[in-house]
Chain A
Amino acid sequence: MALLELKNVTKHYNGIAPALDDVSFSVNEGEFVSIIGSSGSGKTTLLRCINRMVEATSGEIAFGGIVVSRLGKMELRQVRTKIGMIFQQFNLVDRMSVIENVLHGRLGHKSTLAGVLGIYTREERWQALRIIQMLGLDQQVYQRCDQLSGGQKQRVGIARALVQNPKLILCDEPIASLDPSSAKTIMDHLRSICTELGVTLIISLHQVDVALKYTDRIIGLNRGIVVFDGPPGELTSQRSAEIYAKEPKDVNIDLGERNAS
């Protein structure tokens, strides 16, 4: 059964052109899906519509059989606890330690008072430590996050998502601000989270080669429209040019330039 199902999702910001235009697809449990497309093609908006950090203008999003779009505040929080999120800018609280940042992933499961006071159970702390160890950050457990490198910060971000025990993790350009070797570490971790823990991942990426190498399925967005949806094997250079084309007629010109060089 599909874990996530999007039907005719459309998002208008104030402009005339929609950020997302009639997007429909479904994602099965355990899939590692990448979303590619040029800047401003709607990748970030698409990811944020799934957990309603951005409200879609119309269309229906179902997660685990529950229609997310119609949920009230409390039920939405319930759903969000099952969806982890990883950010390009890591979005950690820099002045707090690694372990505290990781435990923030448990806040959705706690009562308001326990959350406000930051009271975590022994099991939660053990789980956080186990995940930190798994991601190779055991030396940094009590370090403040502003002392970490970019790659380490992103691993803290991953740990925070994992400690939620999520069914789905949304990764918003997780390697866009990292150097190539840190990026590889992060992608390797994400791949094994999918393969070994069976978590479904949706990742937005700038690099087509990374999408080809790591993910099971690629969705190409161009100006809010899904122009490609299939396994990496089917992504020919013609199709990839379509995804990145500024205008539909530019496709041939782009290819021409590539051949010329």
Chain B
Amino acid sequence: MQADVFIRRRNNAVVFFAILVVLTAGSIVITQYDLQKGFTSFIKAFIWGASNFYPDAGSLRKLPDILVKLWETVLMSIAATTVAAIFSMFLAVFGSRTTRIHVSFTVIARGIGSFFRNMPLVAWAMILMLAFSQSSLTGFLALFLGSLGFLTRAFMETIDEVGENAVEALTSTGAAYFPVIFQAVLPASMPQIVSWLLFMVETNIRDATLVGLLTGTGIGFLFDVYYKSFDYHVASLVVIVIVIAVLIVETVSNGVRRVIL
């Protein structure tokens, strides 16, 4: 019997690898992708980028402008994330296995989570643009909806994982629903919830750039303008500034995580 387990495991690995090879080769053939050309043009693109796509002295004069837009974008991302977190928290508490009032709440909360999460952010931005045209509200709502979907799911799983034992204990003392939530569930799951929140802020700053491209706001718009007017020096500066901003936010949130976990 034991030998069977090992043979089966090896066979599984072989089959898995074979499928992978077939998928790769198949997609190359179907899309008529030229492997050799792909690699050489990658190098060409890199050389082009190195010789054109860098900030020069002239582009630095635009830096104050860029920073203003960056600041706008960062603030919008944080606002979208935190507002989404408040709504997600309610959905998660009512939807989690351990704290739900009724099974139907789980179905509803999961449904809302999946719907908003699985719809691509770009699609949200396009749809919302029909209603709100190119404004920062569109960007805010697109990020808000995407975050709502993701955070609802993340919070729900955190509560499922963390809450059960303490909920049982406090319920057995005769405590009512809301005291149990506030005295056991929230304190126990808070570090993970804050951690997810920080992760979402980081992700949203990156995504805000993309959404800004579409909605004509924030730093994404600025990049678009300079890129389309062939001013690659300023465009590259915008990219560098975004990367630095994301790195700073990541460092700060890692620091916060260390303190709270």
Q: Is A16 an interface residue (CB 8 A)?
A: no
Decide if A104 touches B176 in the complex (CB within 8 Å).
no
Q: Count chain B residues whose beta carbon lies closer than 8 angstroms to a beta carbon of A.
A: 22
Query: Per-residue 0/1 for B216-227: is the Cβ within 8 Å of any A Cβ (1 yes, 0 no)?
Result: 000000000000
Bound CA–CA A116/B187 (angstroms):
12
Question: How far is the CB of B30 from the nearest CB of chain A, in Å?
Answer: 48
Decide if A79 touches B168 in the complex (CB within 8 Å).
no
Q: Is A107 an interface residue (CB 8 A)?
A: yes
Q: Which residue of A95, A109, A115, A164 is within 8 Å of B187 (Cβ)? A: A95
B-side binding surface: helix, strand, loop or mixed? helix
- Determine the chain B residues whose CB is within 8 A of the CB of A164 once the complex forms: 173-174
Decide if A93 touches B176 in the complex (CB within 8 Å).
no
Decide if A51 touches B172 in the complex (CB within 8 Å).
yes
**Segment 75-125 of A: residues with Cβ below 8 Å from B:** 76-81, 83-85, 87, 89-96, 104-105, 107-110, 112, 115-118
Query: Per-residue 0/1 for B164-190: is the Cβ within 8 Å of any A Cβ (1 yes, 0 no)?
Result: 011011111111101111111001101
- Determine the chain A residues whose CB is within 8 A of the CB of B169 once the complex forms: 85, 87, 91-92, 104, 157, 160
Q: Is A53 an interface residue (CB 8 A)?
A: yes
Residue of A nearest to B163 (CB): A93
Q: Which residue of B173, B178, B184, B190 is within 8 Å of A108 (Cβ)? A: B173
Bound CA–CA A253/B168 (angstroms):
40
Question: How far is the CB of A127 from the nearest CB of chain B, in Å?
Answer: 14
Bound CA–CA A84/B165 (angstroms):
15
**Segment 41-60 of A: residues with Cβ below 8 Å from B:** 51, 53
Decide if B173 touches A110 in the complex (CB within 8 Å).
no
- Determine the chain A residues whose CB is within 8 A of the CB of B181 once the complex forms: 116
Q: Is B191 an interface residue (CB 8 A)?
A: yes
Bound CA–CA A138/B40 (angstroms):
72
Residue of B nearest to A109 (CB): B174
- Determine the chain B residues whose CB is within 8 A of the CB of A107 once the complex forms: 170, 173-176, 179-180, 183
Listed by A's residue number, 6 A-B pairs whose Cβ atoms lie within 8 Å are A76-B174, A80-B174, A84-B173, A89-B165, A92-B169, A93-B188
Task: Please give me the 7 A-B residue pairs with the lowest Cβ-Cβ distance, nearest first.
Answer: A108-B174, A115-B179, A80-B174, A107-B175, A91-B169, A81-B174, A91-B165
Given contacts A53-B172, A104-B173, 14 further A-B contacts (CB under 8 A): A51-B172, A81-B173, A87-B168, A89-B165, A92-B166, A93-B183, A95-B191, A96-B187, A107-B170, A107-B180, A110-B179, A112-B178, A115-B183, A116-B181
* B residues in contact (CB < 8 Å) with A: 165-166, 168-176, 178-184, 187-188, 190-191
